[in-house]
């Protein structure tokens, strides 16, 4: 029996609650997020929009009037995780909380649209990433078994002036989104279809949000975008329309390097990170800005995807192996102690053993500090799905992925060993998962450092002398609070 069939058995229909009923009470929302940091950031926008409507957040799904799941479509496995979660919601709705409405947000909502309602009878509301402002109306529409859908993508929406309600955070680090959508059309990727055209957010609203975070006691921001290097503010609208402007108007625009400097100048006590960079767009001006400001972290996440130029072309990545290695050289020259991480996909269409070896040799050349590694998962309607053959067997993808992971573990250990005996400035983020007697934080290069708690507390900046390491963590002792 297919999962969807099983779900239909479980589903109770016609038990949805009218908003007028909810409005009388203390309305509660429960939000669960999957996938990229952008989704977690978007959930905070959703929480903000509904807080204005009188909702409060609850950590208990059993108490919620509305349950939202913010979804990811990037790989098939991510979608399966959401489907499994919906089964759990179904059981909770049946046994503990018959009144709850279920809303699906994010990329899966956008990809499947009203098909979602056919496939998952439990779902009441389907909302794409650009339609969150419509949530109050959509909730209102859902009654007497009626369902509500808004998956309209926008060329302008950036939720610029909405102050996110920080969810489940540590009060120290926060995400701030700077662009939405993606125009890159990597052939394997579903994101341009689920998140629409690329657009940049007004720098003033970004800086204002960062200033407010400082007032609220935050010590670190991560600027988020699918391709932050391509940030370009010229008054709003899609990135693609920039070329239509006059020279004078173009000259007044603000690019990513300029935005980074503006955020760095908000406060010297506010650390600045960003993600994700794209190798084809990463210019030296960004590197010089990172080198100039002490509070911009020396860390770049630079997904390579493959070390072979033929595969990169099929992936439509817009750069070659040589171009990528030239960007790495520029980083090493301009920011000598920069941490570098990657994303790699194993077993993309037509990848041969030789092509795979090129990926391993590129990894040897760079020796990344961290990595996020995946095997290729064909996604519906992408260029790769339409034009290429997913012809690398599951076993081969898996074996190649394991080789990539093993090599990355080796490199991370080498990189971490280089840090033993050195002093690192660490922003303390919380108590270590392994021991209550230890705290953890990250250095500028984004490596996690664990050390004895003593009298230090989350939010402090400390200098830590690194004494030992694993491939994942540095261990040390605090020498000084700063």
| Residues near ligand SF4, by CB under 6 A | 182, 184-186, 189, 191-192, 226-227, 278
In 3D space, the residue among 420, 279, 301 whose CA is nearest the CA of residue 370 turns out to be 301
Whole-angstrom distance, CA of residue 332 vs CA of residue 377? 32
For residues 335 and 302, the answer to whether their CB atoms sit within 8 Å is no
The values of phi and psi at residue 127, to 5°, are -135, 125
- Contact (Cβ atoms closer than 8 angstroms) between residue 112 and residue 68: no
| 345: contact with ligand 5AD by CB under 6 A | yes
DSSP 107-176: HHHHHHTTHHHHH-TT--EEE-TT-GGGHHHHHHH--TT--EEE----SS---TT------S--SSEEEE
Kindly report the backbone phi and psi dihedral angles of residue 384, in degrees, each rounded to the nearest multiple of 5, phi listed first: -65, -40
Interaction of residue 343 with ligand 5AD, rule CB under 6 A:
yes
Q: Taking the complex as a whole, how short is the minimal distance between the CB of residue 410 and ligand 5AD, in angstroms?
A: 20
Among 305, 341, 432, 444, binds ligand 5AD (CB under 6 A): 305
Does 376 engage in binding with ligand 5AD (CB under 6 A)?
yes
Residue 27 CB, shortest distance to ligand 5AD, in Å, is 34
Cβ nearer to ligand 5AD, comparing 199 with 317: 317
Q: Is there a contact between 66 and 139 (Cβ–Cβ < 8 Å)?
A: yes
- The DSSP 8-state label assigned to residue 336 in this structure reads T
Binding segment (CB under 6 A) for ligand 5AD, from list 242-250, 287-295, 372-380, 386-394:
372-380
- 223 contacts which partner out of ligand SF4, ligand 5AD, none, CB within 5 to 8 A by kind? none
Q: Which is nearer to ligand 5AD, 265 or 343 (CB)?
A: 343
Least distance (Å) from ligand SF4 to the CB of residue 287? 19
Nearer to ligand 5AD, 90 or 187 (CB): 187
Residue 194 or 447 with smaller CB distance to ligand SF4? 194
Nearer to ligand SF4, 189 or 259 (CB): 189
Is the distance from CB of 257 to CB of 289 less than 8 angstroms?
yes
In degrees and rounded to multiples of 5, residue 113 shows phi and psi of 50, -140
Sole window of 94-102, 156-164, 352-360, 369-377 interacting with ligand 5AD (rule: CB under 6 A): 369-377
- Interface ranges with ligand 5AD (CB under 6 A): 74-75, 188-189, 303, 305, 343, 345, 374, 376-377, 379
């Amino acid at each position: 029996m297919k999962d969807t069939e099983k779900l239909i058995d479980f589903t109770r229909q016609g038990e949805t609650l009218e908003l007028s009923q909810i409005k009388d009470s203390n309305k509660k929302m429960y939000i669960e997020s999957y996938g990229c940091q952008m989704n977690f950031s978007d959930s905070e926008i959703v929480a903000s929009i509904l807080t204005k409507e009188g909702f409060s957040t609850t950590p208990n799904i059993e108490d919620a009037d509305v349950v939202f799941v913010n979804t990811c479509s990037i790989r098939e496995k991510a979608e399966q995780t959401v489907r499994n979660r919906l089964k759990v919601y179904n059981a909770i709705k049946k046994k503990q909380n018959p009144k709850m409405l279920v809303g699906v947000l994010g990329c899966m909502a956008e990809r499947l649209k009203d098909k979602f309602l056919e496939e998952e009878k439990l779902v009441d509301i389907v909302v794409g990433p650009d339609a969150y402002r419509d949530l109050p109306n959509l909730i209102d529409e859902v009654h007497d078994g009626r369902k509500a859908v808004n998956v309209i993508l926008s060329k302008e929406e950036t939720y610029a002036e909405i102050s996110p309600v920080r969810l489940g955070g540590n009060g120290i680090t926060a995400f701030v989104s700077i662009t939405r959508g993606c125009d890159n059309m990597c052939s394997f990727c579903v994101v341009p279809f689920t998140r629409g055209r690329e657009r940049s957010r007004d720098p003033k609203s970004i800086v204002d949000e960062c200033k407010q975070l400082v007032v609220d006691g935050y010590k670190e921001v991560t600027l988020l975008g699918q391709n932050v290097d391509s940030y370009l503010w010229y008054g709003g609208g899609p990135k693609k329309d920039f070329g239509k402007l006059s020279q004078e108007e173009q000259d007044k625009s603000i690019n990513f390097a300029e935005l980074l400097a503006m955020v760095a100048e908000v406060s010297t006590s506010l650390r600045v990170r960003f993600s994700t960079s794209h190798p084809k767009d990463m210019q030296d001006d960004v590197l010089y800005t990172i080198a100039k400001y002490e509070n911009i972290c020396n860390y770049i996440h630079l997904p390579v995807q493959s070390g072979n130029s033929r595969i990169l072309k099929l992936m439509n990545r817009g750069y070659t192996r040589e171009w990528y290695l030239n960007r790495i050289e520029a980083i090493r020259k301009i920011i000598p102690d920069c941490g570098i991480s990657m994303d790699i996909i194993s077993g993309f269409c037509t990848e041969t053993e030789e092509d795979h070896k090129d990926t391993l040799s590129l990894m040897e050349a760079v020796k990344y500090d961290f990595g996020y590694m995946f095997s290729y998962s064909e996604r519906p309607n992408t260029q790769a799905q339409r034009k290429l053959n997913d012809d690398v067997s599951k076993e081969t993808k898996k074996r190649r992925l394991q080789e990539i992971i093993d090599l990355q573990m080796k490199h991370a250990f080498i990189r971490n060993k280089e840090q033993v005996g050195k002093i690192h400035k660490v922003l303390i983020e919380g108590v270590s998962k392994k021991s209550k007697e230890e705290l953890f934080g990250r250095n500028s290069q984004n490596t996690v450092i664990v050390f004895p708690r003593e009298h230090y507390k989350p939010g402090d900046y400390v200098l830590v002398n690194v004494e030992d390491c694993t491939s994942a963590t540095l261990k040390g002792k605090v020498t000084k609070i700063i």
